[in-house]
């Protein structure tokens, strides 16, 4: 090969195919991640490119393993030597060292019928085939034995390098920078022969800052005070006041909820509401207001259940969930993999700015993320299920202790009540002269009998209330003063059964005698309406009492054994019946114990029994009260099984087992195994994300903060910092901010403070024709770019102007849709609004894939997918909604009433008050004249409608 170096694209060819191309064009090839434009290739390379595309079916058959093939616009990627040579079901197409035996050579030589290569145009020349044969005979060598895409590509990408602290640039205009941000910005401006804009006026600045930090307009009084404040630190004081405002968390929570695709319904065809998803929203608001270190913020959202922040894991299950399952195992598996894909992809895009989801079916086409990496992250979340769980409140530990005390007291009462339980008696033909015992109940049933020797106890169920029978715990007590539960596995007892409910993590045979109560630790038979369970002791005991129940926690009452027999034996096969259901009243008869046992009790015993029963009922109610906790849609966690890499992402095509972990090429290694407890997997991933060695985390977050202050991030693709994302406009500034973020203790408020105190942020937004010719988009930040308010602060600003805004924080949200309980939920926007809908829009109960008729037109994300950056469109529907919707018409009326209250009957005073409320400034004389004319010709209501539709109200300048 010649020594000249030519560069072509790995996107189409991959490493091995680049080598084939090198052989065909007679040069060495460096693979880089870039789009192929065949019009720019020399003729020989174009021929080779066509050839590469023609052999796509061959490579598709031969490619096997984690680097599965992917078609995209007629291109094929194969970039790992090991898998290329290993091949698939039909074997490899390239046999290194043996070109004569390589199917590829047979195809291009025309030796195989119906397999012409290339399919179009002339066949390869003998010289070209010879080059291919020579390459194969020489071992089909790849430049890098590691199997990664070669040369100057993935690992060297700027975002994958640790941030380095740059020197603060020296600038010609040394008086302008107020902090290092300004120096970086000004240096780039001077390189492009641009100058920064002058400072903005104070009235505009307070309005800009107020909307940026708290999402609300300043009051006219606040504007007046700031404009008149001549103290040198007046602006710094304003910044601190707004950062300390509880409304700061409300404003910035909305940005975060966009990024993480949060909504309060499931999506898909039923789109069922999630009435308890809102605590996650409130958690975000609280965390931001408290300036919780970003590292802690990340930890809690991935493993908050292990850190006392249950609501925080609402992040993991914040996406759509298909609740309608299918009997088709293939579809059900696909649904589950889609759920896990959402968790993996959202975690990566949110915290890392990486499109890890692209590695679900194959290695990432651009970034150093293997398919194995993808499934390692999936294994981290494999135990997470959509659903609700109890929310630990601030008094959780106190309530828990109180409940435990009361449960101990109740256990003592139960023991006393057992003394009133009559002995089980054996009936003759179902007849007995003794009073029948109480009917079975789901909570707790006692079987008392004369002491009997037993090494084996068998509980046989003959009928149930419904379905397969369930017992949460079978307790067998020894006779005598030192009575104890000899059935416990910890005492050496072993359990066997007729069969156990299959494929369940909570219904297992070992739960029958583990000493723990409740449905979550129970045994269920494998047969409907029947089954038996047996306990064998390590030695023979004298026993006199058995206690059993369906669910001592009283959450479930189904699957109750209603017809049963209990037998004992000292040796196998010699069974003796000691109790049964025959001497109990029929299930569901609802009798009371006092009445059942009145015939056998003395008057004093009856009084004592009544007192014990009353105490027990009160104790049960208190236990229930202490144990009752609100629930949160923040996921349920179970220890997962084994995760496999899926060939082409197909859940029916499992390949090798994958251990839980993170991305191999980023940050430190994670030391996890297939047996690592579920919560520790998520905690380990979170710690990997926030590790200082991870080059992505700090950069991604400071870029998000910058984006919402200036309208666009330093990286304009905020959730994609990979090779396919945008390059930073100011890379040194981005690194400096990332390191300052870490230095500050990962304080988000410190980053706000740094940004808004810069002169860059305080520039005027006025356009400049000369600067616009050089940088029309304003990416170099020679001015503050005006931007329209998003839907939420726009609605809040309207309510604030009208005087109707309700500042109530937290709790369940308000609904902008008419209520209905259809199975397939219907979302029709409300047409009438009252005080209940006048809260800040962050508290709207947000359904997925549904936007309200008025503000949904203002580019609100529908939470169908992540929205790291909102669009900003201008449409006729937006103008029509603001002018004519029932909401804005109503609020215009309220605004008119407020102007009359605040300014009296004087129209000129009303106009001036309106300008202060909506525009944070005084009107000009011309504006007063025109406004008075409108009010006179129309009315104050029309004037208010016009003011709410003015660009100056809709935009931040």
The angle at the Cα of 237, spanning 233 to 242, to the nearest 5 degrees, equals: 150
The angle at the Cα of 764, spanning 760 to 769, to the nearest 5 degrees, equals: 105
> Coil, strand or helix: which one is 252?
helix
- Average pLDDT score, the chain: 87
Tokens representing 882? 């603001």
Give bridge partners of residue 470 from the DSSP assignment: 524
What secondary structure letter does DSSP report for 485? B
Rounded Cα gap, residues 597 and 418, in angstroms = 12
Instruction: Say yes or no to pLDDT of 599 above 70.
Output: no
Tokens representing 956? 């931040």
Rounded Cα gap, residues 293 and 173, in angstroms = 36
**Separation in Å, CA 810 to CA 249, 274, 313, 610, 768:** 11, 16, 18, 46, 44
Give bridge partners of residue 458 from the DSSP assignment: 534, 567
What secondary structure letter does DSSP report for 637? E
Check if the beta carbon of residue 2 is closer than 8 Å to that of residue 26.
yes
CB under 8 Å to 906, separation ≥6 — which residues? none
> Coil, strand or helix: which one is 646?
strand
Instruction: Say yes or no to pLDDT of 559 above 80.
Output: yes
Instruction: Say yes or no to pLDDT of 144 above 90.
Output: no
pLDDT band at 39 (very low <50, low <70, confident <90, very high): very low
The pTM score is: 0.74
CB under 8 Å to 561, separation ≥6 — which residues? 440, 459, 461, 463, 464, 469, 471, 550, 581
pLDDT band at 470 (very low <50, low <70, confident <90, very high): very high
Give me the residue label for tokens 């256990």. 411
Query: What is the structure's pLDDT at 411?
Result: 81
Instruction: Say yes or no to pLDDT of 7 above 60.
Output: no
Q: Which of 44, 50, 8, 7 shows the shortest CA–CA distance to 26?
A: 44
R_g over Cα of the chain: 36
pLDDT band at 56 (very low <50, low <70, confident <90, very high): very low
For range 433-462, the mean pLDDT: 91
DSSP string, 516-544: --SGGGBEE-SBTTBEEEEEEEEEEEEEE
Check if the beta carbon of residue 225 is closer than 8 Å to that of residue 261.
no
Instruction: Say yes or no to pLDDT of 65 above 70.
Output: no
Query: What is the structure's pLDDT at 408?
Result: 87
Check if the beta carbon of residue 485 is closer than 8 Å to that of residue 517.
no
Backbone angles phi, psi at 364, to 5 degrees: -60, 135
Tell me what percent of the residues of the chain surpass a pLDDT of 70. Answer: 86
pLDDT band at 415 (very low <50, low <70, confident <90, very high): confident
pLDDT band at 139 (very low <50, low <70, confident <90, very high): confident
CB under 8 Å to 397, separation ≥6 — which residues? none
What secondary structure letter does DSSP report for 250? H
Q: Which of 530, 587, 536 shows the shortest CA–CA distance to 564?
A: 530
Backbone angles phi, psi at 655, to 5 degrees: -115, -135
Instruction: Say yes or no to pLDDT of 778 above 90.
Output: yes
Rounded Cα gap, residues 823 and 215, in angstroms = 36
Rounded Cα gap, residues 956 and 785, in angstroms = 9
Q: How far apart are the first and last CA of the chain?
A: 61
Which residue did the predictor score with more confidence, 719 or 127?
Answer: 719
The angle at the Cα of 612, spanning 607 to 614, to the nearest 5 degrees, equals: 95
Query: What is the structure's pLDDT at 119?
Result: 64
Helix H or strand E segment including 787: strand 787-788
Q: Which of 337, 318, 326, 339 shows the shortest CA–CA distance to 274?
A: 318
Region of poorest pLDDT, from 390-399, 737-746, 813-822: 390-399
Region of poorest pLDDT, from 217-221, 390-394, 601-605, 873-877: 601-605
Backbone angles phi, psi at 43, to 5 degrees: -50, -45
Query: What is the structure's pLDDT at 400?
Result: 85
Backbone angles phi, psi at 451, to 5 degrees: -50, 140
For range 926-936, the mean pLDDT: 97
pLDDT digits 0-9 by tens, 250-274: 999 999 999 999 999 999 999 999 9
For range 618-643, the mean pLDDT: 91
Rounded Cα gap, residues 668 and 494, in angstroms = 45
Quick one: 408 exposed, middle or buried, by C-beta within 10 A (0-12, 13-18, 19+)? exposed
pLDDT band at 306 (very low <50, low <70, confident <90, very high): very high
Check if the beta carbon of residue 123 is closer than 8 Å to that of residue 109.
no
pLDDT digits 0-9 by tens, 155-190: 789 999 999 999 999 999 999 999 999 999 999 999
């Amino acid at each position: 090969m010649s020594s000249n170096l030519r560069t072509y694209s790995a996107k189409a060819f991959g490493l091995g195919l680049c080598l084939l191309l090198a052989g065909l064009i007679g040069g060495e090839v460096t693979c880089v991640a870039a789009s192929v434009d065949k019009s720019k290739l020399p003729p020989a390379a174009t021929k080779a490119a066509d050839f590469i595309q023609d052999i796509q079916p061959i490579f598709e058959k031969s490619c096997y393993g984690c680097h599965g093939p992917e078609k995209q616009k007629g291109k094929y990627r194969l970039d790992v030597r090991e898998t290329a040579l290993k091949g698939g079901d039909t074997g490899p197409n390239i046999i290194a060292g043996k070109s004569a035996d390589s199917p590829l050579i047979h195809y291009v030589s025309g030796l195989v019928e119906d397999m012409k290569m290339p399919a179009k145009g002339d066949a390869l020349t003998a010289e070209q085939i010879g080059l291919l044969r020579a390459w194969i005979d020489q071992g089909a060598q790849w430049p890098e034995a590691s199997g990664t895409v070669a040369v100057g590509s993935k690992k060297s990408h700027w975002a994958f390098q640790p941030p380095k602290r740059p020197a603060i640039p020296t600038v010609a205009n040394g008086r302008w920078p107020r902090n290092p941000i300004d120096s970086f910005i000004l240096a780039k401006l001077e390189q492009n022969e641009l100058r920064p804009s002058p400072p903005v006026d104070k009235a505009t600045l307070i309005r800009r800052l107020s909307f940026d930090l708290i999402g609300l307009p300043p009051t006219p009084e606040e504007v007046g005070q700031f404009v008149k404040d001549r103290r040198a630190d007046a602006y710094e004081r304003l910044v601190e006041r707004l950062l300390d405002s509880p409304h700061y968390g409300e404003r910035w929570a909305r940005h975060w909820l966009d990024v993480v695709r949060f909504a309060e319904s499931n999506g898909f065809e039923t789109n069922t509401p999630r009435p308890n998803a809102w605590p996650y929203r409130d958690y975000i608001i609280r965390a931001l207001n408290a300036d919780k270190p970003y590292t802690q913020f990340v930890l809690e959202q991935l493993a908050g259940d292990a850190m006392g922040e249950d609501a925080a894991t609402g992040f993991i299950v914040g996406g759509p969930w298909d609740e309608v399952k299918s009997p088709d195992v293939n579809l059900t598996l696909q649904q589950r993999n889609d759920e896990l894909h959402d968790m993996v992809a959202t975690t990566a895009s949110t915290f890392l700015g990486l499109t890890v989801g692209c590695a679900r079916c194959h290695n990432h086409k651009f970034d150093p993320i293997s398919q194995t990496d993808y499934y390692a992250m999936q294994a981290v979340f494999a135990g997470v299920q959509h659903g609700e769980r109890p929310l630990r409140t601030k008094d959780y530990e106190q309530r828990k202790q109180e409940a435990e005390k009361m449960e101990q007291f109740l256990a003592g009462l139960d023991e006393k009540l057992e003394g009133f339980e009559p002995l089980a008696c054996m009936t003759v033909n179902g007849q007995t002269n003794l009073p029948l015992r109480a009917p079975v109940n789901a909570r707790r049933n006692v079987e008392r009998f004369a002491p009997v020797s037993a090494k084996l106890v068998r509980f046989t169920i003959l009928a149930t209330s419904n379905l397969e029978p369930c017992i949460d715990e079978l307790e067998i007590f020894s006779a005598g003063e030192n009575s104890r539960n000899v059935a416990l596995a910890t005492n050496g007892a072993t359990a066997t059964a007729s069969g156990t409910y299959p494929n369940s993590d909570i219904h297992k045979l070992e739960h029958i005698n583990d000493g723990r109560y409740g449905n979550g630790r129970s045994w269920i038979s494998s047969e409907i309406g029947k089954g038996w369970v047996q306990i064998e002791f390590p030695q023979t005991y004298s026993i006199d009492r058995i206690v059993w129940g369906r669910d001592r926690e009283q959450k479930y009452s189904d699957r109750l054994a209603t017809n049963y027999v209990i037998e004992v034996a000292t040796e196998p096969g010699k069974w003796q019946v000691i109790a049964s259901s025959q001497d109990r009243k029929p299930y569901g008869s609802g009798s009371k114990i006092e009445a059942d046992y009145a015939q056998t009790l003395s008057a004093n015993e009856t009084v004592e029994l009544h007192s014990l029963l009353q105490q027990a009922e009160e104790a049960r109610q208190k236990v229930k009260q202490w144990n009752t906790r609100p629930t949160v849609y923040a996921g349920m966690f179970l220890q997962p099984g084994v995760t496999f890499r899926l060939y082409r992402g197909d859940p029916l095509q499992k390949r090798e087992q994958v251990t839980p972990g993170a991305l191999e090429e980023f940050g430190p290694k994670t030391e996890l195994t297939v047996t690592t407890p579920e919560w520790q997997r998520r905690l380990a991933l979170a710690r990997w994300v926030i590790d200082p060695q991870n080059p992505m985390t700090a950069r991604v977050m400071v870029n998000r903060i910058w984006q919402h202050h200036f309208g666009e991030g330093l990286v304009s693709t905020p959730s994609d910092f990979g090779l396919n994302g945008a390059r930073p406009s100011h890379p040194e500034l981005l690194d400096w901010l990332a390191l300052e973020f870490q230095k500050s203790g990962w304080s988000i408020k410190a980053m706000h403070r740094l940004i808004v105190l810069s002169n860059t942020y305080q520039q005027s937004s006025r356009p400049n024709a000369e600067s616009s010719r050089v940088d029309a988009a304003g990416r170099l930040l020679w001015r503050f770019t005006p931007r329209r308010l998003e839907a939420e602060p726009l609605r809040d600003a309207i309510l604030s102007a009208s005087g109707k805004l309700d500042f109530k924080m937290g709790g369940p949200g308000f609904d902008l849709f008419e209520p209905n309980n259809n199975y397939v939920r219907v979302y029709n926007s409300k047409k009438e609004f009252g005080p209940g809908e006048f809260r800040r829009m962050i508290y709207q109960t947000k359904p997925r894939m549904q936007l309200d008729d008025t503000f949904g037109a203002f580019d609100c994300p529908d939470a169908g997918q992540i929205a790291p950056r909102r669009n900003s469109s201008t449409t006729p529907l937006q103008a029509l909604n603001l002018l004519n919707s029932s909401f804005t018409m109503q609020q215009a009326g309220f605004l008119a009433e407020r102007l009359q209250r605040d300014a009296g009957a004087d129209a000129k005073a009303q106009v001036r008050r309106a300008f202060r409320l909506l525009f944070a400034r005084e009107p000009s004389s011309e504006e007063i004249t025109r406004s008075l004319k409108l009010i006179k010709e129309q009315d104050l209501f029309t004037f208010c409608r016009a003011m709410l539709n003015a660009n100056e109200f809709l935009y931040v300048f």
